[in-house]
Amino acid sequence: MFFEGAEKKLEIRLTSNMASLRQREYGFWSTLVACANAEILSIIRNPACDAYLLSESSLFVWDDKILLLTCGNSTLIEAACYFINALGVEHIAALCYQRKNEYQAQLQSTHFADDIAKLRTLIPGKAFRVGHLDSHHHYLFCTDNLFCTDGQPMSSTYDTCLELMMYHIRGELADYLKSPTQTEQGIYQRLGLQRIFPDFQFDMHCFQPAGFSLNGIRGADYVTLHITPSIGPGDNSYVSFETNLDLAVYPYPLVAQMIKLFMPSSWDLIRFNQSLMTAGFPEHVCLAHGSIVTEQGCQIDFNHYQQLQTEELLPVFL
């Protein structure tokens, strides 16, 4: 009755001397995602990026980079090891592996400590947790700065990225997402994405009994949105939104718009080289903030927010 919406995330950048990843055949990608216990549902492409919608989230492939997100009880770490071994560790310029705050960590087949022990047999890196264990927290592993034979770093900074995790959604859209009458187009229209992402190409999928995934690409830019309405007792609803758009110059306040749509009782932001903009947020309290600068010079910020008013809890009978 429970589905873990919280994603694990893998980002790998190759060294510059490699053939484009986008030339690899379908079988490579289907095997990769199968390692994580996921499968490919559909693909959209443009000249810079291929976006795969998966049974459990998303895969984006650029010439020299992949981004793989998986939710549920997926084994993303197996996909990471498969990719490193298939490409050869000497061709990995940078790797970043994340686990978001899970509702039920004890139901996962591995924990972050297991995952990084496995990763470190292949590639060195720093791992850390930001956030207390009894509140929202996130795990991150980043490879050490790797250098080419000419002494130049293999990868400079990470791209910009923003991850928004929303917990316990409410309001009109949340109600619609729990209703049996929901449709793919119904959700898409209510999200109003055509307005805030006017030049994007979209791919989406409605899951049974509930759930909605969407990928969008425009050149090398991507957005991805995954909705896990609550199944079973208690409200474990979860929505994630992620993009590499630079929000400091993007003409729409995307984060505020998402929070307005889903009305989560709490939400987290993880920013990679992104400035913070809270304009348009509902009345809130920032419960916690943490930041770190990686060896590669990437500034990572974590913020945990909750709506300002006390949340009235209903007992969940078990």
Contact residues for a second copy (CB under 8 A)? 101-106, 108, 111-113, 116, 126-136, 139, 167-168, 234-236, 265-266, 285-290, 292, 302, 306, 308, 310-318
Indicate the residue among 221 and 268 with the shorter CB distance to a second copy.
Answer: 268
Place of tokens 């920032």: 286
Q: Return d(Cα 112, Cα 139) in angstroms, integer.
A: 7
Q: How far is the CB of 143 from a second copy (least distance, A)?
A: 15
Residues 6+ apart with CB under 8 A from 265: 167, 168, 170, 306, 307, 311
Indicate the residue among 103 and 176 with the shorter CB distance to a second copy.
Answer: 103
Q: How far is the CB of 15 from a second copy (least distance, A)?
A: 27
Q: How far is the CB of 313 from a second copy (least distance, A)?
A: 3
Q: Return d(Cα 83, Cα 88) in angstroms, integer.
A: 8
Indicate the residue among 112 and 197 with the shorter CB distance to a second copy.
Answer: 112
Q: How far is the CB of 180 from a second copy (least distance, A)?
A: 25
CB half-sphere exposure, 76, CA atoms < 13 A: 28
Q: How far is CA 212 from CA 145, 204, 235, 238, 308, in A?
A: 37, 7, 17, 11, 28
Dihedral, CA atoms, 167, 171, 177, 183, nearest 10 degrees? Answer: -140
Indicate the residue among 249 and 314 with the shorter CB distance to a second copy.
Answer: 314
Indicate the residue among 150 and 311 with the shorter CB distance to a second copy.
Answer: 311
Q: How far is the CB of 19 from a second copy (least distance, A)?
A: 35
Q: Return d(Cα 27, Cα 141) in angstroms, integer.
A: 28
